[in-house]
Amino acid sequence: MQRDRERQGMAKNTNMRWRLPLVCLLWELAMIVLFGVFVRSGAEADAHWEEEKRDMNLTSDMENDFYFRYPSFQDVHVMIFVGFGFLMTFLKRYGFGAVGFNFLLAAFGIQWALLMQGWFHSFKDGKILIGVENLINADFCVGSVCIAFGAILGKTSPIQLLVMTLFQVTLFSVNEYILLNLLHVKDAGGSMTIHTFGAYFGLTVTRILYRPNLEQSKDKQGSVYHSDLFAMIGTLYLWMYWPSFNSAISDHGDAQHRSAINTYCSLAACVLTTMAFSSMLQKKGKLDMVHIQNATLAGGVAVGTSAEMMLTPYGSLIVGSISGIVSTLGYVYFTPFLESRLHIQDTCGIHNLHAMPGLIGGIVGAITAAAATEDVYGKEGFIKAFDFTGVYQTRTPSIQGGFQAAGIVVSLLMAFAGGAIVGKPEGTPASPRNCFEDGIYWEVPEDEESDVYHMHNPDKPASP
C-alpha cells in the first residue's frame, strides 16, 4: 500500500510532459522578446566596422577583439559543455542526465547571462552591445551553475534545474557587479565570482533539499568501469583548457600570456600532489578515480584570481600543490562529514573541487595583489594590471588586497542567501528511489545485456 502510493506519487511527480515544454517555450519566448528589445552586435561585430576601424585608427582587421579571444572562447565553450557535462557522467545510470541536463541548463543560462551581464556591463544608449568577450562571460556565468549542478546531480528534475539557473545567473551577475565594479576587484579566472559563489550556492541548495533516505539509492551512486572513462574525458578537457579559462578575458598581451603560463604550472603540480595523497590515504595504496577525476583540477581553480598577476611560475606550483592536497583530503574526510553531520549531500564533491580551492584562490589573489610593487610590475604595468586609473588612481596594493578579501566575503554571503532563496521553493524532494536514475526522465534503450550477447554472434537470429 505504502509502496503503491509512493509509486503513484512518483509517476505524478516525475511526468514532465506539459511542465517542461511550457517552461522551455515560454522562457525562450521571453528571451526572444528581450533580445529583440535590448541586444545588438557590438561595434566590432557590426557591418559598420569598416568605418569604425578608421575612426579608431586601426590599420588591420587583426585588431578586432575577435582574434584576441576567439580561440580561448572556444576552449571555454568546450569546458562548459563537454568538460562539466562528461565529468558528471561517472554515475553508472545517470549519463544522459549529466550530459543532457547540463546541456539544457547551460543553453538557457548563456542567453539569460548575456542579458543580465549585458545590463550591468555593456549597456549603451538603451542597447546591450555584445561581442566575443560577452560570449565568454556568459559561458563563465553558466560555469557557476554547472558547478552548483554538481552538488545536486541526480536529485532534481530538469524544471528545478532551469529555475535554479534563472536565479543563479541573476545573482551571479549582481555579485559580479558588486565585486568588479563597486569593489574594483580583479578576478579574471573567477576564483571568487565563479567557483566560490557557484559552489556555496549549490551546497546551500543541496542542504535544503536534504534527503534522509538517500542511502537507499547507494547502489546507483557509484561508477562502473566505462562510466569512469567517460568522466575522464570531462576531466582532461577541463584540465587542458583551464589555461584558456583563466586567460580568456585578461588584458591583451602580457596578461593573457602570463595567465596561461601560471595556470599551466599550477595544474601540473596539482596532479602530482593529488596522486600522492590519493595513494597515501588508501590502505592498499591504490589510486582512486574520484580523486584523479576531480582533485587534479583544483590547481586551476586556485589560481583563478592571481594567474594574471605576477604570481610567478614557482608561486603557481606552490598554490597548485597545496590545492591538490586540500582537495583530495576533502574527498576522503570532509565529504562524509558534510553528509553525516551537516546533512549536505554533495554528489560530485564540489566542496572539494570548487568551494575550498575557490577560497584558496580568493586568498592567494588578495595576497598577491597586496604584495604587488612597481618594481615587480613596472610603472605602467602596475597601473594597467590593477586598473589603478580614474577614481582608483590612489589605491595602494595593500588596500587592493583588502578589497580582494572583501570580495570573498561578499561572494560567500551572496551564495548562502541565494542558495537559500532558490532551495526553499523547490518543494519536497523527490523519493530517493527516483535519484541517480536516467529512466525517470529519459527514454533509455532496452536491454544492453542481450545486445552484448548478440553483438558477437551475428549469425544467430536476434530473437528466438
Footprint of a copy of itself on residues 193-222 (CB under 8 A)? 217-220, 222
Nearer to a copy of itself, 9 or 381 (CB): 381
Name residue, grid cell 538517500: 214
**Biggest distance spanned by C-alpha atoms of the chain:** 83
Q: With binding defined as CB under 8 A, does residue 230 bind a copy of itself?
A: yes
Quote the least distance from Cβ 82 to a copy of itself, whole Å: 5
Quote the least distance from Cβ 123 to a copy of itself, whole Å: 15
Quote the least distance from Cβ 447 to a copy of itself, whole Å: 6
Q: Residue 224: which residues within 8 A CB-CB, separation 6 or more?
A: 92
Tell which one of 145, 205, 260, 360 touches a copy of itself (CB under 8 A).
Answer: 260
Strand order of the sheet with strand 39-41? 39-41, 127-130, 123-124
For the segment 319-348, give every residue that binds a copy of itself (CB under 8 A): 321
Nearer to a copy of itself, 390 or 458 (CB): 458
Distance CA 141, CA 193 (A): 8
The alpha carbon of 364 is separated from its chain's Cα centroid by a whole number of angstroms, namely: 20
272 closest CA partner among 232, 309, 322 = 322
Question: What is the DSSP-derived secondary structure letter of residue 291?
Answer: H
Burial of 278 (0-12, 13-18, 19+ CB in 10 A): buried
Nearer to a copy of itself, 268 or 421 (CB): 268
Quote the least distance from Cβ 203 to a copy of itself, whole Å: 25
For the segment 366-395, give every residue that binds a copy of itself (CB under 8 A): 376-378, 380-382, 384-385
Tell which one of 6, 71, 181, 182 touches a copy of itself (CB under 8 A).
Answer: 71
For the segment 406-445, give every residue that binds a copy of itself (CB under 8 A): 433, 437, 439-445
For the segment 144-163, give every residue that binds a copy of itself (CB under 8 A): 158
Distance CA 302, CA 363 (A): 9
Question: End-to-end CA distance of the chain, in Å?
Answer: 38
136 closest CA partner among 49, 228, 70 = 70
Parallel, antiparallel or unpaired: strands 39-41 and 123-124: unpaired
Nearer to a copy of itself, 182 or 280 (CB): 280
Nearer to a copy of itself, 262 or 345 (CB): 262
Count of residues engaged in binding a copy of itself, rule: CB under 8 A: 157
Q: Is 146 helix (H, G, I), strand (E, B) or coil?
A: helix
Nearer to a copy of itself, 85 or 419 (CB): 85
For the segment 13-32, give every residue that binds a copy of itself (CB under 8 A): 15-22, 24-25, 27-28, 31-32
Nearer to a copy of itself, 283 or 341 (CB): 283
The alpha carbon of 396 is separated from its chain's Cα centroid by a whole number of angstroms, namely: 32
223 closest CA partner among 278, 271, 129, 291 = 291
Nearer to a copy of itself, 40 or 395 (CB): 40
Binding mask 268-307 for a copy of itself (x = CB under 8 A): xx-xxx-xxx-xx-xxxxxxxx--x---x-----------
Q: With binding defined as CB under 8 A, does residue 226 bind a copy of itself?
A: yes
For the segment 73-132, give every residue that binds a copy of itself (CB under 8 A): 74-75, 77-78, 81-82, 85-86, 89, 92-93, 95-96, 99-100, 103-104, 107-108, 110-111, 114, 130-132
Quote the least distance from Cβ 173 to a copy of itself, whole Å: 17
Q: Residue 149: which residues within 8 A CB-CB, separation 6 or more?
A: 84, 88, 101, 102, 105, 161, 164, 202
